[in-house]
Each structure stands twice: as C-alpha cells, then as structure tokens.
Amino acid sequence: MKLLSAAAILAASVFATACAGTSGRVYVRTGPPPVRAEIVGVAPGPGYVWVPGYYNYSGRDYVWVGGRWDRPPRARARWVPAHWERDGHGYYFVDGHWR
C-alpha cells in the first residue's frame, strides 16, 4: 500500500512539473477556441469600463467566462484583457489586469 501511495505522489509531482514551466505557468497543449462576441449592454453608471470575457481552462476543456462592467482603480487606468499566449511549451494564460 505504501509503495502504491509513493508511486501516486511521484506521478503527481512529475505531472505538475510537466504542466508548469520554470516561470510557474501552466501550459495547455491545444489553444482556446476563438473569442466569443459579447453583447455589451449599457454601463451601470458613470466611470464603468467593459472588461471583455475570456476562455479559462478547467483542466479538461476550455470554459467561457463572460465579460463584466468594472470601475478602474484610478484615473487613466486601462484594462489589459485576459488572453492566451503560445511559446515552445504550449499555450499559457495571461490574466487580465489594470495598467
């Protein structure tokens, strides 16, 4: 039983190392579907900015996360949308953020 548990832990650590690069990124072999077109309604109030949706990876497949209205944390802040990038290891997610 102990040998089986040790093998499971070893397999999990090898899998985690294979999925995460040295940068801490989690890689996915296949890219996400094309970004969905969203209907952007009226802002809930002055100063709100539309934050577009994106695909998140659930560990098995891509799941759409719908956009939302948000208020910038400071004047002149700009939203950098979440997106997927590709390098030699595969596709990795870059979270959206205020700049």
DSSP, collapsed to helix, strand or coil, labels residue 7 as: helix
| Number of independent structural domains in the chain | 1
In a domain, 7, yes or no: no
In a domain, 54, yes or no: yes
**Is pLDDT at 3 greater than 60 in this prediction?**
no
Angle at 8 between CA 91 and CA 23, to 5 degrees: 30
In a domain, 51, yes or no: yes
> Which amino acid appears at position 25 of this protein?
R
Predicted pLDDT of residue 2: 52
Mean pLDDT of 23-36: 93
Predicted pLDDT of residue 4: 43
CA separation for the pair 59, 37 (Å, rounded): 24
**Tokens of residue 98, six digits:** 């205020």
In a domain, 32, yes or no: yes
Q: Domain range spanning residue 33?
A: 27-98
DSSP, collapsed to helix, strand or coil, labels residue 64 as: strand
In a domain, 21, yes or no: no
In a domain, 46, yes or no: yes
pTM: 0.73
Q: Would you place residue 68 in the very low, low, confident or very high pLDDT band (cuts 50, 70, 90)?
A: very high
Q: According to the 3-state scheme, what is the secondary structure of 65-87? A: ECCEEECCCCCCCCEECCEEEEE
In a domain, 37, yes or no: yes
In a domain, 16, yes or no: no
* 34-63 confidence digits (pLDDT tens): 999 999 999 999 999 999 999 999 999 999
